[in-house]
Structure 1
Amino acid sequence: MNYPQGVSAQDFDSALDEFRRIVGADNVFISEADVALYRDAYSPKWGESDELVASAAVAPTTVEQVQAIVKAANRLRIPLFAISTGKNLGYGGSAPNMSGSVIVDLKLLNKIIEVDDKRNFCIVEPGVSYFDLYNYIQERGLKLMMDVPDPGWGSPLGNALDHGVGYTLGNYRDHFGSHCGMEVVLPDGELLRTGMAAVPGAETWGENKYGYGAYVDGLFAQSNFGIVTKMGFWMMPQPEHYLSCMVKVPRYEDIIPLIDTVNYLEDQGLIGHPRYGCPMDSLCLMWEPESYKTTRELMQLNNQPGGASVAEYQSYAQNHGLEYWNVVLNFYGPKKTLFANWEYAQEKFADIPGVQFEQLESYSLPIAKKDQQKLRHQVALGIPNMSIFSIGARSEAMPNPDDGHAWFAPIVPRNGKAFIKAHEVFCKAAKELGLTSAPIARTNVPQTWQYRSYIYLFPFFISRSDKEQNRKAVDQFITLVKLAAEHGWTEYRTAPIFQDIVASTYSFNNNALLRFQSLLKDTVDPNGIIAPGRGGIWPKRYREDA
């Protein structure tokens, strides 16, 4: 048994007995095989002595049971780590920040409380997946469109609490930003509701997120101040039509006017998620093998640490009749309006020499099932699926796939010159580090899921059989986190093993932010039982032990 730090075997066994009394023996899991299901399948520490693993798991079915579990854990000082569906692959999966923690698995809290397609909101529990909510909407013929991430087996609640993102309009694809009101079990077991949900009998839980007074919802995202058991979300009314078009530009430096124009269109509310692409980019080749084709020549260019030079990629593109960059623009709304907006967009891009335009898809909504499989990106229409796993599948771009990946995901300024600077910084570092386990090149594209933010995303690939490769990847990851911070960039989200180092980069005024968070932690959770270390926030009992 992997006992939590500072917890005796006697107290731990007493806690398990309490948990069995609360939820029943069938919903307390202690066998090695059961607990192994909560490992991070993509952990770069897989099989190492310091891999972050749980000691046990408990699966409540009601909010009252969650409260009772927390109260019992408080008495016996047992650290808990709550998960929704635990599908956070690439960012830690369902593994806790501190080994030995007991997983509170909320998958059985799976009620869809309310969905309203006139006021356009929903209220759900943590065990509800994107597939569950989508099926609920489709079965009832509700006129709503979800915003979903990749893949669709995750939880809207859990994804939002880790600042997860999606693919439609900016105000919906920021999933925490589009949440509205929540219910939280605090570290002492008390039940809290926020916003209008705090008003007994209020019918506006899913409409007004602020209510009155101090706004506290943000304290419960990427943190450890409570266990969220319900959340409301604003939802997108189903538009009449969907139009998807592509803009292609021929030269590397065209990314500057391309980004400037896309930002202008999106900030006016004319387009949804802009999806940048590059026919030579390793991630594009893995994500969309049906659209982007690799060759042996391109593999040789990409397999160099830091990739090839701009001149080499430019030559390759010209020789193969390819653009250097492209961007897919998605339009939602009345059909006439969308085509007028597309015409306007073409006028705005027209000053870029050699620019090309292509209409990709045009559908009236709701889209027929026979047409769904034809979609280039089902997520652009709120249809959950599992296609993103193509990134790890065997393909021409990845002939020898590894066993997983950890995402490196710093936020960089939303303009072309800054993105070129990020290319320079990371490609230079990759060459100096001899970094081959992550695809970094002058072809990396901006990821635009978070509205008004660009994420410079690439994975570090992980192998369960090559521990030396994994150790090197961890060291390189940490080196790049520190390097990015020197330029004012840092992660928006990361796996537990990197959360301390990422939290430390938010270091203004001698880490005033982390010191304030620690003060809050010690006040609301003096026994330090809720997710010790989550978001880099450690309770006093473990800070002192450290």
Structure 2
Amino acid sequence: MRTPPNVSPQVFAIALQEFTTVVGKDWVLASDEDLFPYKDAYSPLRDIPEDRSASAAVAPASVEEVQAVVRIANKYRIPLYAISTGKNLGYGGSAPNHSGSVVLDLKRMNRIIEVNESNAYAIVEPGVSYFDLYNYIREKGLKLWLDVADPGWGSVMGNALDHGVGHTMSRFRNHFDAHCGMEVVLANGELVRTGMGALPGSTTWAQYRHGMGPVVDGIFSQSNFGVVTKIGMWLMPAPEAFMEGMIFAPRYEDLHPLVELLKYAENTGLAPGTPELLSPLLGVSNKTKNLVDAFYKGPPQLPKQQADLVAQSRVGYSADLAKYGADNKIPYWGLSLKFYGPSKVVAAQWEAVKELASRSIKHVAFQNGPIQTDPRKASDEWTFYPQDVGVPNMDFFGMGTRAGGNPNPMRGHMWFSPVIPQTADGILEANRVFDEAARTIPALQKVPIWNLRPFALPAPFYERNFLFIVGFPITDDKELNKSIVKAYRTLLDIGAKHGWGEYRCHPEFQDQAMGLYSFNNNSLLRLHETIKDAIDPNGILSPGRYGIWPKNLRKNAKS
């Protein structure tokens, strides 16, 4: 039996027995077979000794059991690694940052505490998935939408705590910003509620997040300061109707007014859904439906002359390519906008957007789908991307299956996702920098990088910034995986030199990524460490998560 670092087999056996008295023998897992699901299925370190693994797992079913488990772990100084449903694929999955930790698996805590239709919120436990909450809302006939991440099996709470995003209106798709109120078990087993939840008998826990005094909720996201056991989430009142409108711009330089239109339409609420950019001329798109189609059917095939011109372009441009687009009436850029609300309002918003676009873009063209009212029908028929109407599914994970567009599936993937300015200049500069690096730096020339060539269009999931997302495959080739790890580290450093930091990443890179937030001798990380030492002095909660190591492990982690 494997033991946690610096814990003797005798002490660990005693702790496991005490865990058993709390959760029952069926929910303390220590055999190799039982621990296999707690490995990172997409690990870039797969099948080598450095791959992260757990020494055991324990699955409590209530907050009282979580408190008891944490107190036992604190007594014997056994590191725990808390997960919700363990579906965080591409970002570490179920495996602990600190190898040998005991996974604290919260999937059995899957109660939907409350869903309030009038005030549009839910209070859920960590094991509640998007499918669970969606089915509950549907079965009850509630006029509510939830905002869902791409994998519908993920935890509503877990995705929010890891700063995940979705696809509907901006106020809901930033999942952490859509939370309201938490219940948290601290390292000593004490239970805390934030915001209005700290008021006994509060009836507004999931309606007003600030409460009284400092707002501390943020320290429990992307961190290891506590175990969140309940969370309030704001839901979207079901709109009467929805529609997608497309704007097409013919010239390379039109990217500038198109991005300005994107920002204005979103920030004023004129087009509140997820905007998506594409380039018909370059044959690239960040539209999620197009990406899913490519997984199953393969990417769109361009005419040979167009494909050759695209391949010869730099930062998405050449005079010959621009002429080919003009001669063949192929737009350089496209912008997809989503509208929600009463049918008359949706129609009026689209007319307003068209008028704005016509003022700033010469020879602009438009295309729109029908105004629809049935999200399930639209989802089933794919006349709207399911997540854009709050319907969870697993289609995005077609990238991991053997299909027409993916005949040789890999074993996993990782995303490199720096935050860049929400400007056309930001898009062009990021493309210039990363494309040049991929062509000239040996560490990057050796590996496949998805979505970088011929041109990378960013994801506008968050308001007021872009995520420049490119991907890496994980394979069974250990040497290739090793090269991919080196390439990822190289990109992290390049991004930071240009002021672009990661918003989220795999545990293998969290120390490096957090270390690049280095203002004033890494004063932010030092603040995190000060908090860690104060509220978790024995360092038992998820050591290493997002670069936050307890004092007893800090020296080794940084060496």
Matched, 1:448 2:456: no
Contact 1:438 1:459 in 2 (8 A): yes
Matched, 1:486 2:497: yes
Residue 532 (structure 1) aligns with: 543
**Counterparts of 1:388 and 1:527, CA distance in 2:** 40
Residue 288 (structure 1) aligns with: 293
Count of aligned pairs between the two proteins = 544
**Counterparts of 2:15 and 2:542, CA distance in 1:** 16
Q: Which amino acid aligns with 1:441?
A: R
With 314-323 and 65-74 compared, the bigger mean Cα shift is at 314-323
Q: Which amino acid aligns with 1:430?
A: A
Q: CA deviation at 1:28?
A: 1.0
**Counterparts of 2:436 and 2:258, CA distance in 1:** 24
Matched, 1:344 2:343: no
**Counterparts of 2:389 and 2:378, CA distance in 1:** 14
Residue 552 (structure 2) aligns with: 541
Q: Which amino acid aligns with 1:335?
A: S
Question: Where does 1:343-362 land on structure 2 (aligned, <5 Å)?
Answer: 343-350=351-358, 351-362=360-371
Question: How big is each residue's C-alpha offset from its partner over 1:258-310, in whole Å with a ceiling of 9 and x where there is no partner?
Answer: 11111011110111211222342286664333796135959976998998852
Identify unmatched segments of 5+ residues in structure 1: none
Q: CA deviation at 1:374?
A: 2.9
- The alignment's TM-score, normalised by the length of structure 2, stands at 0.92
Contact 2:152 2:393 in 1 (8 A): yes
Task: For residue 459 of structure 1, give the secondary structure of its aligned residue in structure 2.
Answer: strand
Residue 156 (structure 2) aligns with: 156
Contact 2:54 2:95 in 1 (8 A): yes
Question: Where does 1:111-190 land on structure 2 (aligned, <5 Å)?
Answer: 111-190=111-190
Contact 1:518 1:539 in 2 (8 A): yes
Residue 390 (structure 2) aligns with: 382
Residue 193 (structure 1) aligns with: 193
Task: For residue 369 of structure 2, give the secondary structure of its aligned residue in structure 1.
Answer: strand
Matched, 1:511 2:522: yes
Task: For residue 529 of structure 1, give the secondary structure of its aligned residue in structure 2.
Answer: coil
**Counterparts of 2:100 and 2:251, CA distance in 1:** 52
Residue 274 (structure 1) aligns with: 275
Contact 1:59 1:105 in 2 (8 A): yes
Contact 1:28 1:59 in 2 (8 A): yes
Contact 1:113 1:125 in 2 (8 A): yes
Q: CA deviation at 1:317?
A: 5.5
Q: Which amino acid aligns with 1:293?
A: P
**Counterparts of 2:312 and 2:198, CA distance in 1:** 53
Residue 256 (structure 1) aligns with: 256
Contact 2:372 2:378 in 1 (8 A): no
Contact 1:162 1:493 in 2 (8 A): yes
Q: Which amino acid aligns with 1:527?
A: N
Q: CA deviation at 1:315?
A: 6.8
Q: CA deviation at 1:326?
A: 1.6
Contact 1:305 1:431 in 2 (8 A): no
Residue 3 (structure 1) aligns with: 3
With 295-304 and 67-76 compared, the bigger mean Cα shift is at 295-304
Q: CA deviation at 1:452?
A: 1.9
Over 3 Å counting, the alpha-carbon distance change for 1:233 and 1:371 in structure 2 is closer
Q: Which amino acid aligns with 2:174?
A: D
Task: For residue 288 of structure 1, give the secondary structure of its aligned residue in structure 2.
Answer: helix
**Counterparts of 1:483 and 1:96, CA distance in 2:** 27
Matched, 1:49 2:57: no
**Counterparts of 1:69 and 1:214, CA distance in 2:** 29
Contact 2:309 2:321 in 1 (8 A): no
With 347-356 and 20-29 compared, the bigger mean Cα shift is at 347-356
Question: How big is each residue's C-alpha offset from its partner over 1:91-134, in whole Å with a ceiling of 9 and x where there is no partner?
Answer: 11111111101111111000000001101111000000000000
- The alignment's TM-score, normalised by the length of structure 1, stands at 0.95
Identify unmatched segments of 5+ residues in structure 2: none
Contact 1:239 1:332 in 2 (8 A): yes
Residue 420 (structure 2) aligns with: 412
Q: CA deviation at 1:400?
A: 3.0
Superposition RMSD on alpha carbons, in Å?
2.3
**Counterparts of 2:308 and 2:404, CA distance in 1:** 14
Q: Which amino acid aligns with 2:465?
A: S
Q: CA deviation at 1:514?
A: 0.4
**Counterparts of 1:346 and 1:98, CA distance in 2:** 53
Identity %: 46
With 130-139 and 7-16 compared, the bigger mean Cα shift is at 7-16
Question: How big is each residue's C-alpha offset from its partner over 1:147-192, in whole Å with a ceiling of 9 and x where there is no partner?
Answer: 1110111011000000000111111111000100000000001000
Contact 1:282 1:397 in 2 (8 A): no
With 301-310 and 395-404 compared, the bigger mean Cα shift is at 301-310
**Counterparts of 2:312 and 2:89, CA distance in 1:** 25
**Counterparts of 2:532 and 2:244, CA distance in 1:** 46
Task: For residue 407 of structure 1, give the secondary structure of its aligned residue in structure 2.
Answer: strand
Residue 469 (structure 2) aligns with: 457
Task: For residue 310 of structure 1, give the secondary structure of its aligned residue in structure 2.
Answer: coil
Residue 500 (structure 1) aligns with: 511
**Counterparts of 1:114 and 1:300, CA distance in 2:** 53
Residue number among 378, 398, 401 corresponding to 2:409 in the alignment: 401
Over 3 Å counting, the alpha-carbon distance change for 1:82 and 1:538 in structure 2 is same
Question: Where does 1:176-325 land on structure 2 (aligned, <5 Å)?
Answer: 176-271=176-271, 272-279=273-280, 280-281=283-284, 286-289=291-294, 293-295=300-302, 297=304, 310-311=317-318, 314=322, 322-325=330-333
Over 3 Å counting, the alpha-carbon distance change for 1:362 and 1:180 in structure 2 is same
Q: Which amino acid aligns with 2:388?
A: A
**Counterparts of 2:418 and 2:48, CA distance in 1:** 27
Contact 2:182 2:231 in 1 (8 A): yes
Contact 1:286 1:395 in 2 (8 A): no
